[in-house]
Structure 1
Amino acid sequence: MQSLTGLLLVVCLQYASSATHSWKAYYTGTSGLTEFPEFVALNLIDDQLMGYFDSKTNHFKSQFQWMEDNLGKEYEERQTNILLGHTETFKNNVNILRERFNQTQGVHTVQLMYGCEWDDQTGAKSAFREYGYDGEDFLSVDFKEMRYISPVQQGIPTVQKWNNDRGKIENHRNYFGTVCIEWLQKYLQYGKSSLEKTVSPQVLLLQKSSSSPVVCHATGFNPSGIKISWQKNGQDYDEDVELGELLPNADGTFQKTSTLNVKPEEWKNNKFRCVVEHQGKTKAADEKILTNEESAPIGLIAGVVAALLLLVVIGVAGYMVYQKKKGFKPVSGSDDGSNSSDHAVPQA
């Protein structure tokens, strides 16, 4: 598992307000990971996993009952056929980019992340389509100018090739402007009762040992919007605090942590309190701390284990393998060198 360190950099789920909805796809091709599939695909609706495919099972599996009820088994079969076609393309793209970067061995990944967002109050729409290689930006679509751009020289051949195909650009325009949004709205209608279900978080304080940092763990909540903060002797306290990323649980709920790095004496001599705000309600934890020597609730253990397993899958799948960097600048091309899952994945 140590070889996955570079892949499991971060899982970043974007916060969405109650009016903003999203559909996203995360595809990853890998080489050098014999124990994992060479191709993995994830589809998400409002940051909840709605479908999964990998090149070992060769089958797309829906994650919600409402998908089968409204879309039928034909939906899974169609997704399976589409993604089977993407498998070979991603394997080829990994090999092409390894050659461009003069690499022969090691673990390498090609990621495609794309999707759309829709505000059900204002009607505003947005979209993204981005490629990454080995955890770094490789190229993306500039939707204002409707062209591909790349921040690295190795991406220029692909940029020139794809920008010369005006049919591809028009396909992007139609897909992200209409098709993706229409399917997002269908999914929201079909899964309304499930996606809008509100579940309050369970809040616990966790600690590996008496000298370890104290972790405030909120889990089992939905929707994903949550705020975790600390208080010291009744006053807001944000020093020595490390906020964790939002992670999905296997049951469609979410979990998040906030770690307080204080010495045992400081914890003992002061009154610290973890405050969790979700959907206008507040929960707090300031007393009982569970350590490795104590038994945590079975539900919590199951949720954490399931999330960690999903995190591994997500890490391999590029969900999200690299963080968006500030100051993304494309390299000039003159410097030489239905539904959403059927969107074409071209060869680099």
Structure 2
Amino acid sequence: MTCAATHSLKYFYTALPQSTGLPEFSAVAYLDEQPIYFYDSSTKQVVARQEWVKGAVDADFWRRNKQLLMDTEKVFKTNMDTARKRFNQTSALALQKMCSCEWNEETGATDGHELYGYGGEDFLSFDLKHERWIAPVLQGLYTKMKWDADVPKLKAKTHYLTHTCIEWLKKYVSNQSMLDRKVPPQVSLLQKEPSDRVTCHATGFYPDATMIFWRRDGVEIHDDVEHEETLPNGDGTYQKRTHLTVSPEDLQKHDYTCTVQHISGDVVLSANRDSIRSNSRHTQRQDISIIAVFLASVTLVIFVVVISVMIQKFSNGKEQTSEKEK
């Protein structure tokens, strides 16, 4: 059983005979059993299966992997024909390969595997601990001996499973965790003057997908509602505003609510006198005046204290001088 702290990166490669009518070669990459990108011989393209993957790799990643998988496709077709001859068959069967690595986020333990199957049965498997191939069937013995004799390739295989694959696994996990995070919005209602429109302002949320709408007495309204585009904040989160044009009398007469729908949960605010914050210039000037008075008061207190200390020191100095003169 795999615990939550254990992550896996798996690659599945499949070569099929032409008679199936399906793509003759395909490859799928999985992170924690979820497909992250895909390639097949029909499209000749590497396609992301998860949106966050696009931000986890560099721009040249797709071109490099496309070329790599096109080369792998040729190798698999040759190996499939070789396996057909080893089993003395007139037509080839499906050839598959699974390459994977695992990483326990809590303990740091890692592991790696590589398996080949032909016709739905195990054909070869790599023993990472002893750096050798294992052939469960007689037809795989020749390939096992040939691959075991190539020491540089054995070392490269070990390095890939214990280092390269693990590095990519950690990279994907890190990016998925960051991009899959859910930060709820902070919602406030703003109005400059009682006669002005009411603004429902949501900020600090992630991801950027969100909807803001107004209701009057529980019924969603669209007239007199203006939506602004979602804008990025400087910290990686987003903000969005929606404005409602409504008279002060109508605002008091009916129950107006703003609803912000986000993947992290919905936020509903009722538009009443207690919940609407004023952002008028008059209020801002009042706030500035209050702050100015406060700062002036603090400055005066500090000035009085400093003067008092100086007077005390001056008085003490005069007393000491008088005593010396005596």
Following TM superposition, the consecutive aligned residue runs of length 4 or more in structure 1 with deviations greater than 2 angstroms are: 193-197
* Contact 2:56/2:172 (8 A) holds in 1: no
Return the letter of the residue paired with 1:86.
T
Deviation string 1:96-129 (CA, Å, 9 cap, x unpaired) is: 1111111113x61111101100000011111110
Over 3 Å counting, the alpha-carbon distance change for 1:166 and 1:196 in structure 2 is farther
Return the structure number with greater helix share: 2
Return the letter of the residue paired with 2:115.
E
Return the letter of the residue paired with 1:28.
T
Counterpart CA distance in 2 for 1:47 and 1:54 is 19
The equivalent of 1:109 in structure 2 is: 94
The equivalent of 1:129 in structure 2 is: 114
Counterpart CA distance in 1 for 2:65 and 2:48 is 10
Counterpart CA distance in 2 for 1:99 and 1:119 is 41
Counterpart CA distance in 1 for 2:97 and 2:173 is 24
Equivalence map 1:5-84=2 (5 Å): 16-84=2-70
- 1:49 Cα deviation after fit: 0.2
* Contact 2:133/2:148 (8 A) holds in 1: yes
The equivalent of 1:313 in structure 2 is: none
Partner SS state of residue 18, structure 1: coil
Counterpart CA distance in 1 for 2:180 and 2:2 is 13
Counterpart CA distance in 1 for 2:94 and 2:4 is 34
Equivalence map 1:181-192=2 (5 Å): 181-192=166-177
Residue 119 of structure 1, aligned match among 87, 95, 104: 104
The equivalent of 1:165 in structure 2 is: 150
Return the letter of the residue paired with 2:63.
E
Aligned pair 1:88/2:88, yes or no?
no
Deviation string 1:233-258 (CA, Å, 9 cap, x unpaired) is: xxxxxxxxxxxxxxxxxxxxxxxxxx
The equivalent of 1:8 in structure 2 is: none
Counterpart CA distance in 1 for 2:159 and 2:111 is 13
Aligned residues: 182
Return the letter of the residue paired with 2:173.
L
Counterpart CA distance in 2 for 1:161 and 1:32 is 28
Deviation string 1:163-212 (CA, Å, 9 cap, x unpaired) is: 00000110012111111111100001111145678xxxxxxxxxxxxxxx
- 1:146 Cα deviation after fit: 0.6
- 1:65 Cα deviation after fit: 2.0
- 1:69 Cα deviation after fit: 2.0
Residue 139 of structure 1, aligned match among 106, 124, 127: 124
Deviation string 1:269-323 (CA, Å, 9 cap, x unpaired) is: xxxxxxxxxxxxxxxxxxxxxxxxxxxxxxxxxxxxxxxxxxxxxxxxxxxxxxx
Return the letter of the residue paired with 1:151.
P
TM-score normalised over the length of structure 1: 0.50
Over 3 Å counting, the alpha-carbon distance change for 1:151 and 1:195 in structure 2 is farther
Counterpart CA distance in 1 for 2:59 and 2:46 is 10
Q: Percent identity?
A: 37
Over 3 Å counting, the alpha-carbon distance change for 1:153 and 1:193 in structure 2 is same
Over 3 Å counting, the alpha-carbon distance change for 1:32 and 1:70 in structure 2 is closer
The equivalent of 1:314 in structure 2 is: none
Q: Specify every segment of 5 or more residues in structure 2 that has no aligned partner in the other structure, as ranges.
A: 183-326
Over 3 Å counting, the alpha-carbon distance change for 1:47 and 1:194 in structure 2 is farther
Residue 133 of structure 2, aligned match among 145, 148, 169: 148
Q: Over aligned residues, Cα RMSD in angstroms? A: 1.6
* Contact 1:111/1:133 (8 A) holds in 2: yes
Partner SS state of residue 94, structure 2: strand
Counterpart CA distance in 2 for 1:156 and 1:109 is 19
Q: Specify every segment of 5 or more residues in structure 1 that has no aligned partner in the other structure, as ranges.
A: 1-14, 198-348
* Contact 2:101/2:113 (8 A) holds in 1: yes
